[in-house]
Amino acid sequence: MCAQLELAEISQDQKWIDMWISEQESENTRLSYRRTINRLLALLNKPLPEITRHDLLMYRVQRTADGLCARSRNQELACVKSLFRYINKADIHQNYLKVDVSSTLKKEHVELKRAFVPDIAQTRGMLDVEMPPLILCAMKVMIYTGCRVSEVGKIGWDDLEVGKTTVSVKIHGKGLKTHVSAIPLSLYRELREQCGESDPLLPFSRDRLYYWVKKIGAASGMENVHPHSLRHACATYLVNADVPAYLVKEHLGHAKLETTLDYCDIKPDGRITDTMETILGGTKCIF
C-alpha cells in the first residue's frame, strides 16, 4: 500500500513538474529547470509534499560541497521557488502542497565580479587575426550589436532592414523576446558578399563560435576573452563615447537600465571634474 501511495505521489509530482515546465518559453530554460528539479528529487529522495525547508537548506549545502558557486546556487534556488510558487498558485484548493516551504529562503549574497572587457586596441587586434571570412563576419556582428553568442546563428535576411546609413537588425533573444540593434552598411555589404543566399546568415552553433572567439582571443594575446566579453565591450565603448545609456540599453535588449550599466567598464572622465569646477568655481559654498 505504501509503495502504491509513493508511486501515486511521484506521478502527481511529475504532472505538476510537466505543467510548470510547459509554461517556460525557452527550450534552454525548460531543459535547465528539468535537470535542476530531477537532481533535487533524486538527492532528497522524497516527493514534493514531503520536502521541508530544512531539506532545501541541506540541498544547498550539498550543492556547495559539489563545488557549485553562489551565483549558480541562487539560480537553482530560483528554479525551485518557481516550481513551488507555481503549484501553490495553480492548486486553488491547496490540497497538494500545504505550504510553500521555499518562500522564506533568501538568495546568497554574491560579490559582483566584473567581466573582462577588452579595450578598443585589443578588439581591433582580434579582428586582425587570420580566420575564416564567415567567422570574421560573426565576430563583427557580435561586436557591433553586442548580441549573445547564441543569437548570432538566428539572424536571417528578413531580420535586416537597410536604411540610409545603417542597417537595423532584429535580434531573437532569450525567452522568444526580440529587440532591434544595428550594424553599419559596410558590414551589411560584407555579409552579402560572404554569406550569399545562406539563411540564417551565419549558421554557427553557440559552441562553435565560443571555440573561435577563445582561439582568436588567445592568438591576439588574451586568454580570458570569451563571447560575452564582446557584449560587455559593445556596451562599454558606446557609453564611454557618450551614447546615452538608455539607447545602449535598447541596442543590447536589456530589460533594465541597471543591467546595461553593470555591463560597462566606465572610465573616470575629466569632464566630470571640469563641470563641477564650472558649477562651483567662484561661488561661495553655502552647504
| Mean pLDDT across 68-78 | 91
The answer to whether residues 51 and 44 touch, using CB atoms and an 8 Å cutoff, is yes
What total of structural domains would you count in the chain? 2
- Domain annotation covers residue 168: yes
What does the DSSP 8-state code read for residue 111?
A: -
- Domain annotation covers residue 287: no
Q: What is the pLDDT of residue 284?
A: 45
- Domain annotation covers residue 150: yes
User: Based on the domain organization, do 45 and 171 belong to the same domain?
Assistant: no
Q: Map residue 247 onto helix, strand or coil.
A: helix
C-alpha cell at 87: 503549484
C-alpha cell at 4: 502504491
Domain that holds residue 234: 120-270
User: Based on the domain organization, do 128 and 266 belong to the same domain?
Assistant: yes
Q: What is the pLDDT of residue 32?
A: 92
Mean pLDDT value across the chain: 88
User: Based on the domain organization, do 19 and 139 belong to the same domain?
Assistant: no
- Residue range 136-173, pLDDT digits in tens: 999 999 999 999 999 999 999 999 999 988 999 999 98
User: Based on the domain organization, do 169 and 220 belong to the same domain?
Assistant: yes
C-alpha cell at 208: 562553435
Residue 127's CATH number: 1.10.443.10
- Domain annotation covers residue 263: yes
Q: What is the pLDDT of residue 29?
A: 86
Residue 69's CATH number: 1.10.150
Whether this prediction's pTM lies above 0.75 is answered by no
Which amino acid is located at 14 in the chain? Q
Q: What is the pLDDT of residue 279?
A: 75
- Domain annotation covers residue 164: yes
| Mean pLDDT across 266-283 | 68
Domain boundary among 90, 112, 137: 90
Task: Place 9 in a pLDDT band, splitting at 50, 70 and 90.
Answer: low
Q: Of 160, 186, 162, which Cα lies nearest the Cα of 171?
A: 160
- Domain annotation covers residue 129: yes
- Domain annotation covers residue 252: yes
Task: Place 1 in a pLDDT band, splitting at 50, 70 and 90.
Answer: very low
Q: What is the pLDDT of residue 113?
A: 66
Place of cell 564567415: 134
First-residue to last-residue Cα distance in the chain: 79
- Domain annotation covers residue 99: no
User: Based on the domain organization, do 67 and 128 belong to the same domain?
Assistant: no
Q: What is the pLDDT of residue 276?
A: 73
- Please, what sign has the CA dihedral across residues 63, 64, 69, 74? positive
User: Based on the domain organization, do 85 and 145 belong to the same domain?
Assistant: no
- Residue range 205-250, pLDDT digits in tens: 989 999 999 999 999 999 889 999 999 999 999 988 889 999 999 9
